[in-house]
Structure 1
Amino acid sequence: MELTAVVNGLKALKTVSQTVTIYTDSKYVARGVNEWLPDWLARGWQTASKKPVANRDLWEAVQALLQIHTVTVKWIPRYQNAEADGLAQEARLNHGMTPMTKPTQQTTHLMIAGSRDATAQMLDYARRAVRRAHEKGFAILVGDNPKGVDMVVVRECRRLQIPVIVAGVGNFPRNGECKHGTYVKVHRDTYRASGGHLLHRYTVRDRWMVDQAQMGLFVWNGDSPGTKAGYNYATQRGKDAHLINFSAEVGS
Structure 2
Amino acid sequence: MISIYTDGACEPNPGAGGWAFVVYENGVNTQIRFGGDVSSTNNIMEMTAVLAAIEHCIAHRMKFTEVRIFSDSQYVVKGCNEWRHGWARKGWEKGKASLKNAGLWKAIAAAHDAFPCAITWVRGHSGIEGNEEADRLAEVGRKHAIEHRITSLEEFAA
Q: What TM-score do you get using the length of structure 1 for normalisation?
A: 0.35
> Which residue number in structure 2 is paired with residue 75 of structure 1?
121
Matched, 1:22 2:69: yes
- Are 1:21 and 1:73, in contact at CA under 8 Å, matched by a contact in 2? yes
- Percent identity (aligned): 31
1:84 to 134, 137, 141: 134
Matched AA of 1:52: S
Whole-angstrom CA distance in 1 between matches of 2:88 and 2:143: 39
Matched, 1:32 2:82: no
Whole-angstrom CA distance in 1 between matches of 2:84 and 2:142: 31
Q: Secondary structure at the match of 2:98?
A: coil
Whole-angstrom CA distance in 2 between matches of 1:73 and 1:11: 14
CA distance change for structure 1 residues 71 and 50 in 2, over 3 Å: closer, same or farther? farther
> Which residue number in structure 1 is paired with residue 56 of structure 2?
12
Matched AA of 2:136: G
Deviation at 1:56, TM superposition (A): 0.8
Deviation at 1:16, TM superposition (A): 4.6
Deviation digits for residues 15-61 of structure 1, max 9, x if unmatched? 457423211111110110111111111212122x3321111111111
Q: Secondary structure at the match of 1:79?
A: coil
1:3 to 47, 69, 90: 47
1:63 to 73, 85, 109: 109
Matched AA of 2:81: N
- Are 1:25 and 1:77, in contact at CA under 8 Å, matched by a contact in 2? yes
> Which residue number in structure 2 is paired with residue 103 of structure 1?
157
Higher relative contact order (CA 8 A, sep 6+): 2
Bigger radius of gyration: 1
- Are 2:69 and 2:118, in contact at CA under 8 Å, matched by a contact in 1? yes
> Which residue number in structure 2 is paired with residue 45 of structure 1?
92
CA distance change for structure 1 residues 59 and 90 in 2, over 3 Å: closer, same or farther? closer
Structure 1: gaps (5+ residues): 105-252
* Aligned Cα root-mean-square deviation (Å): 2.7
- Are 1:21 and 1:72, in contact at CA under 8 Å, matched by a contact in 2? yes
Q: Secondary structure at the match of 1:22?
A: strand
Higher strand share: 2
Structure 2: gaps (5+ residues): 1-44
Whole-angstrom CA distance in 1 between matches of 2:102 and 2:53: 18
- Are 1:17 and 1:70, in contact at CA under 8 Å, matched by a contact in 2? no
Q: What TM-score do you get using the length of structure 2 for normalisation?
A: 0.53
> Which of 60-69 and 3-12 deviates more?
3-12
Whole-angstrom CA distance in 2 between matches of 1:18 and 1:57: 27
Matched AA of 1:71: C
